[in-house]
C-alpha cells in the first residue's frame, strides 16, 4: 500500500448509518490494511426509528454475506411487498405502490401502454390485477422465489420491516466480529488542521483524542463534524413541508401484513409498520398546520393495539447538506440530510453513500475531484427522490388547508416535465439517477389521480383479440401464483420466527 493510503477510518456515531458503514468497511478492508474505529455515546442514543426499507437492501445484505432468514429473525422483521397509500388523493381512496413490476412488456411498448389501450377497448381490470406483489400483499401472502418457481416470480420483489434498534445491534455484532473497534464516549470537540482545514481529531468528553485520516459523520441530525466544517444546509421545506414526527409502538393484534400503510391525515400522514413482536406507528406532520397535542391525539386515536410507550417527538428540517463529502469527512445518514420518511429512502441513501464511497475511495490527500464527483452523484439521487416524494403531496384533491397549499405549490421543473408527459400520453420519463423505477412512478402517478389522455400509438399494433388473450393469460398466472403462496405468517413461522 502506498504511503498515502488511509490507515484509520473513524466513524462518528453508531446508529443505523454508523453501523452499516462499519459493517460494509469491515468487509472491504482487512484489519491489517485499515483500522476502522466507531465512536458512539450510549447516553445520547440513536434516533430509534427507520423500520421500513426498499428492495435494494437485499443487495447490501448479499454483499455482506448476511443470511436473509437469520437477519429477519434477529431484527423481529417482516417482509414488505409495497406501500398502501390511504386517502392521499382524497378521503376514502386508496392505492398500492408495489415493489415488483406490473405484467410483462409485450408488443412494441411497455406493459402499461397495453393496459391503457385495453381500458379504451372496454377492459375494467385494474392495473393492480397484473401485479403479483399487489395480489400477494392483499391476500396476506409471501414466498421467496426459488429456481423452481413459476417464471412470473421474475416480476416479484420485496424488502423488509425491522426493529431499528435490533438492526443496529445486529450490524454491530457483525462488524465487531470482523475487527471494528468500538469506543464508548461523547464527542466534545472537532479539531481541524491549520492550513487545509481537514479534520485532524475528535476530542471526547473525558479528554481522549481520536485521530484518523478519513472521518465518516454518522452523528444523526446533529451532524457534528459536518457542522464543524461549516458545511451549509439546503432546505426543501417549501416542497416537503412536514417537520415533525411522533412515533409510538403498539401491541400486535393480528398477523403482520406484508406491506407498510401510509394514511393521509389533516396536516401530514401516519405510518403503520407491522413487525413480528409489535407494530410501529408514527404521525409525520407540519407543525405550522397542526398543534403537537392534536397530532398526538390523531396518532393515538388511530392505533390498532394498545400503545407500548408515550409518543416520542422527532423534529427535522427537510433538505440536504450542501456537500455530503467535505474535505476528509463524508456525512452519511441523517447527518447528510433528510427528505422525510415517506417511501422509506433514508436507509437506502446510507447504503448508496457507502457504495459510492467505495467506488471513489480516496487516499489521505482526499483529492477534491473525488469529492466533487461523489457529491454530484449524491445530489442527483436526492433530487430524484425529492421529486418522487413531492408528487405524493402536490397531486392531491383533499380539502384541508395543508393539502390545498400542497396542491398549489410550485414544483421543480424536473417533476413538472414527468407529470406533463404522463398526463399527455402515459409515457414515463426515466432519468439516469432515478432510484424509483417506472413501475413506482406509474403506481403513484395513477394513484394520485394523474390520468393519461392517450396511450402510445405503437400499442395499437397488437390486434385486440391478441391483447385480450395475453392480458387474460397474465392475470390468470398472477392470480394462481399469489393464491399458492403461504401466508406471510406461515412463511415467518417456518423460516425466520424470532425467539
- Closer residue to ligand FAD in complex, CB, 245/446: 245
- Closer residue to ligand FAD in complex, CB, 152/286: 286
Size (the chain), residues: 499
Residue 186 annotated to the active site: no
Q: Which parts of 89-198 are beta strand (E)?
A: 94-98, 159-161, 181-184, 187-192
Cα–Cα distance for residue pair 215/135, rounded to 1 Å: 46
Among 6, 9, 10, 13, binds ligand FAD (CB under 6 A): 13
Instruction: Kindly state the smallest distance separating residue 246's Cβ from ligand FAD, in Å.
Output: 8
Contact 306, 223 (CB under 8 A): no
Give the alpha-carbon dihedral of 372, 377, 383, 386, to 10 degrees. Answer: -120
Q: Tell whether residue 418 is among the known ligand binding residues.
A: no
β-bridge pairing 78-80 and 159-161: antiparallel
Number of Cβ within 10 Å of residue 394's Cβ equals 20
Stretch of 97-105, 216-224, 454-462, 482-490 contacting ligand FAD, by CB under 6 A? 216-224
Choose among 299, 324, 133, 87: nearest CA to 225.
Answer: 324
Stretch of 34-42, 295-303, 425-433, 458-466 contacting ligand FAD, by CB under 6 A? 34-42
Instruction: Kindly state the smallest distance separating residue 43's Cβ from ligand FAD, in Å.
Output: 8
Binding residues for ligand FAD restricted to 302-321, rule: CB under 6 A: 314, 316
- 80, 323, 356, 418: the catalytic one is 80
Q: Tell whether residue 144 is among the known ligand binding residues.
A: no
Contact 487, 141 (CB under 8 A): yes
Q: Tell whether residue 334 is among the known ligand binding residues.
A: yes
Stretch of 16-24, 28-36, 78-86, 401-409 contacting ligand FAD, by CB under 6 A? 16-24
Cα–Cα distance for residue pair 278/498, rounded to 1 Å: 12
Angle in degrees, CA 160, 387, 167, rounded to 5: 20
326 to 345: interface string for ligand FAD, x by CB under 6 A: -------xxx-----x--x-
Binding residues for ligand FAD restricted to 269-288, rule: CB under 6 A: 282
Binding residues for ligand FAD restricted to 222-241, rule: CB under 6 A: 222, 224
Count of positions on this chain that bind ligand FAD (CB under 6 A): 38
Q: Tell whether residue 16 is among the known ligand binding residues.
A: yes
Among 100, 220, 268, 426, binds ligand FAD (CB under 6 A): 220
β-bridge pairing 312-315 and 35-40: unpaired
Angstrom CA distances, 382 to 227, 368, 495, stand at: 20, 21, 35
Instruction: Kindly state the smallest distance separating residue 217's Cβ from ligand FAD, in Å.
Output: 9
- Closer residue to ligand FAD in complex, CB, 136/334: 334
Instruction: Kindly state the smallest distance separating residue 184's Cβ from ligand FAD, in Å.
Output: 9
47 is a site residue for ligand FAD (CB under 6 A): yes
Cα–Cα distance for residue pair 257/132, rounded to 1 Å: 15
Q: Tell whether residue 14 is among the known ligand binding residues.
A: yes
Binding residues for ligand FAD restricted to 127-186, rule: CB under 6 A: 164, 186
Q: Is 185 helix (H, G, I), strand (E, B) or coil?
A: coil
353 is a site residue for ligand FAD (CB under 6 A): no
Instruction: Kindly state the smallest distance separating residue 197's Cβ from ligand FAD, in Å.
Output: 21
Q: Is 292 helix (H, G, I), strand (E, B) or coil?
A: helix
Instruction: Kindly state the smallest distance separating residue 434's Cβ from ligand FAD, in Å.
Output: 18
Among 6, 10, 52, 289, binds ligand FAD (CB under 6 A): 52
- Closer residue to ligand FAD in complex, CB, 115/316: 316
Q: What is the DSSP letter of 255?
A: P
For the beta sheet containing 337-338, the strands, ordered from the edge strand earlier in sequence to the opposite edge, are: 233-235, 319-321, 337-338
- Closer residue to ligand FAD in complex, CB, 41/276: 41
Q: What are phi and psi of 444, to 5 degrees?
A: -80, -40
Instruction: Kindly state the smallest distance separating residue 97's Cβ from ligand FAD, in Å.
Output: 14
Question: H helices then E strands: how many in the chain?
Answer: 15, 21
Cα–Cα distance for residue pair 154/132, rounded to 1 Å: 10
Q: Tell whether residue 15 is among the known ligand binding residues.
A: yes
Q: Tell whether residue 279 is among the known ligand binding residues.
A: no
Contact 301, 285 (CB under 8 A): no
> In the beta sheet, which residues pair with residue 39?
12, 183
Cα–Cα distance for residue pair 37/347, rounded to 1 Å: 21
- Closer residue to ligand FAD in complex, CB, 176/363: 176
Q: Tell whether residue 343 is among the known ligand binding residues.
A: yes
16 is a site residue for ligand FAD (CB under 6 A): yes
Instruction: Kindly state the smallest distance separating residue 16's Cβ from ligand FAD, in Å.
Output: 4
Number of Cβ within 10 Å of residue 208's Cβ equals 13
Q: What are phi and psi of 301, to 5 degrees?
A: -80, -10
Cα–Cα distance for residue pair 427/417, rounded to 1 Å: 11
Q: Which residues line the annotated binding site?
A: 14-17, 80, 334, 343, 347
> Site residues (CB under 6 A) for ligand FAD?
13-18, 39-41, 44-47, 49-53, 164, 186-187, 218-220, 222, 224, 245, 247, 282, 314, 316, 333-335, 341, 344, 346-347
Give the residue numbers marked as catalytic. 80
Amino acid at each position: 500500500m502506498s504511503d498515502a493510503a488511509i490507515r484509520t477510518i473513524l466513524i462518528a456515531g453508531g446508529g443505523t448509518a454508523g453501523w452499516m458503514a462499519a459493517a460494509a468497511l469491515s468487509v472491504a478492508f482487512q484489519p491489517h490494511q485499515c483500522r476502522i474505529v466507531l465512536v458512539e455515546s450510549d447516553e445520547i442514543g440513536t434516533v430509534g426509528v427507520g423500520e421500513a426499507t426498499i428492495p435494494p437492501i437485499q443487495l447490501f445484505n448479499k454483499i455482506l454475506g448476511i443470511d436473509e432468514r437469520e437477519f429477519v429473525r434477529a431484527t423481529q422483521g417482516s417482509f414488505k411487498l409495497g406501500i398502501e397509500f390511504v386517502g392521499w388523493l382524497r378521503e376514502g381512496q386508496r392505492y398500492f405502490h408495489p415493489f415488483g413490476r406490473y405484467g410483462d412488456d409485450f408488443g412494441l411498448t411497455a406493459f402499461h401502454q397495453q393496459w391503457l389501450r385495453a381500458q379504451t377497448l372496454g377492459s375494467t381490470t385494474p392495473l393492480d390485477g397484473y401485479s403479483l406483489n399487489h395480489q400477494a400483499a392483499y391476500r396476506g401472502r409471501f414466498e421467496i422465489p426459488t429456481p423452481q418457481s413459476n417464471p412470473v416470480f421474475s416480476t416479484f420483489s420485496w424488502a423488509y420491516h425491522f426493529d431499528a434498534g435490533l438492526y443496529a445491534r445486529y450490524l454491530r455484532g457483525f462488524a465487531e466480529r470482523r475487527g471494528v473497534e468500538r469506543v464508548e464516549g461523547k464527542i466534545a470537540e472537532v479539531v481541524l488542521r491549520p492550513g487545509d482545514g481537514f479534520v485532524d481529531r475528535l476530542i471526547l468528553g473525558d479528554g481522549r483524542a481520536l485521530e484518523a485520516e478519513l472521518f465518516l459523520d454518522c452523528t444523526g441530525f446533529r451532524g457534528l463534524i459536518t457542522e464543524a466544517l461549516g458545511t451549509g444546509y439546503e432546505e426543501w421545506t417549501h416542497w416537503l413541508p412536514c417537520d415533525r414526527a411522533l412515533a409510538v409502538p403498539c401491541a400486535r393484534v393480528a398477523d403482520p401484513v406484508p406491506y407498510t400503510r401510509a394514511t393521509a391525515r389533516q396536516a401530514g400522514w401516519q405510518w403503520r409498520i407491522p413487525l413480528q413482536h409489535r407494530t410501529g406507528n408514527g404521525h409525520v406532520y407540519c407543525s405550522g398546520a397542526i398543534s403537537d397535542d392534536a397530532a398526538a391525539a390523531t396518532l393515538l386515536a388511530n392505533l390498532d393495539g394498545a400503545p407500548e410507550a408515550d409518543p416520542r417527538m422527532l423534529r427535522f428540517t427537510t433538505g440536504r447538506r450542501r456537500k455530503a463529502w467535505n474535505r476528509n469527512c463524508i456525512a452519511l445518514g441523517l447527518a447528510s440530510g433528510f427528505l422525510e420518511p415517506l417511501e422509506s429512502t433514508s436507509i437506502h441513501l446510507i447504503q448508496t453513500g457507502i457504495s459510492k464511497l467505495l467506488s471513489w475511495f480516496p487516499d489521505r490527500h482526499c483529492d477534491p475531484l473525488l469529492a466533487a464527483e461523489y457529491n454530484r452523484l449524491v445530489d442527483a439521487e436526492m433530487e430524484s427522490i425529492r421529486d418522487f416524494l413531492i408528487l405524493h403531496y402536490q397531486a392531491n384533491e383533499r380539502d384541508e388547508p395543508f393539502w390545498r397549499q400542497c396542491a398549489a405549490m410550485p414544483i421543480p421543473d424536473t417533476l413538472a416535465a414527468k407529470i406533463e408527459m404522463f398526463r399527455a400520453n402515459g409515457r414515463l420519463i426515466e432519468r439516469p439517477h432515478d432510484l424509483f423505477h417506472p413501475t413506482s412512478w406509474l403506481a403513484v402517478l395513477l394513484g394520485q389521480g394523474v390520468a393519461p389522455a392517450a396511450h402510445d400509438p405503437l400499442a395499437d399494433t397488437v390486434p385486440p383479440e391478441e391483447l385480450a388473450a395475453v392480458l387474460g393469460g397474465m392475470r390468470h398466472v398472477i392470480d394462481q401464483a399469489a393464491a399458492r403462496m403461504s401466508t406471510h405468517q406461515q412463511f415467518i413461522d417456518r423460516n425466520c420466527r424470532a425467539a
